[in-house]
Amino acid sequence: MSELRAGAVPLYQQLAARLRRQIADGVYRPGDRLPSEAELCQQFGVSRITVRAALDQLVDDGLLWRQRGKGTFVRAPLVEHELIRLTDFVEDMVVAGLRPASRITHLGEEQAPPEVAQHLVLTPHTPVVRLDRLRLADDAPIAFDITFLPLRYGRLLQRADLEQHTIYHILETQYQVPVVSGSFVIEAGKASTELAEALGVERGAAVLIIQRTSYTEGDEPIYFQRRYYRADRVRYRVELQRGYPGERSRLTEFVPVFEP
């Protein structure tokens, strides 16, 4: 019987547990819209206040998300990265149990903007290769990359290879160019109109911006990249140890917004 019964456990918690179990059993899958509040009221024999309290709990727990005017949806599991070693997109997705794929939206040469030139240790307006890719996890958009490479590396990359492999993989296996280190800056941002359309989110939705520069031997930059992750799909975990007395932490400067 679907209806819930009053008892020691509040009705909204019983309903939340019932919906949680249905999500775990695959009755509702990531991206599915739940029945409306009115439909849930009728199905379980409870008030709208009870339904809203149960949905609020599952939203707070990260299992559901709401889209105004459209309903309540099952949230896809978060992809969690640990900042322990330098990895590429495919490696991150495989560890998370997701099927990675890339869709190239732009590949060509252009002049490096001053910020890009600084990261690549080039003179401003030096020609570079720009590569834009929509990154997919289980066929769903999860990130959008804008990557700049010096010509000596960018001209090694072919569109067909980039649909199947990462830059790291191509340079390391085909050209014996090792990627030995990288620097990361992680910040919050909002999706522009173009970015929102690519990622399948609303304009102004939160995005996690990963700015990184990757280096080969001799601290030579291979590429400068900005990756815009859907903030509802990714989080980073960092484990730290407390420093010795007298050591100082470093706060990096604020970085101007880099629009795609």
Q: What is the pLDDT of residues 125-138, one digit of tens each?
A: 999 999 999 999 88
d(CA 87, CA 126): 28
Number of domains in the chain: 2
* Geometric angle at alpha carbon 116, from 110 and 120, rounded to 5°: 100
Indicate whether 55 and 104 sit together in one domain. Answer: no
Mean pLDDT across the chain: 85
Q: Which of 254, 199, 204, 252 is nearest to 229 (CA)?
A: 199
32 occurs within a structural domain: yes
30 and 157 both lie in a single domain: no
Q: In the prediction, which pLDDT does 178 show?
A: 92
Clarify whether residues 145 and 193 are in a common domain: yes
Element (H, E) at 81: strand 79-82
Dist. CA 227–CA 102, nearest whole Å: 13
The tens digit of pLDDT for each residue in 45-101 reads 899 999 999 999 888 877 887 887 888 988 776 665 555 567 778 877 787 777 888
Range of the domain at 53: 11-74
Please count the CA atoms within 13 angstroms of the CA of 243 that sit on its side-chain side: 6
- Looking at the DSSP bridge assignments, the partners of residue 181 are 215
Last residue of a domain, one of 30, 50, 74: 74
pTM of the model: 0.67
Rounded to 5 degrees, φ, ψ at 94 are -60, -45
Percent of the chain beyond pLDDT 70? 87
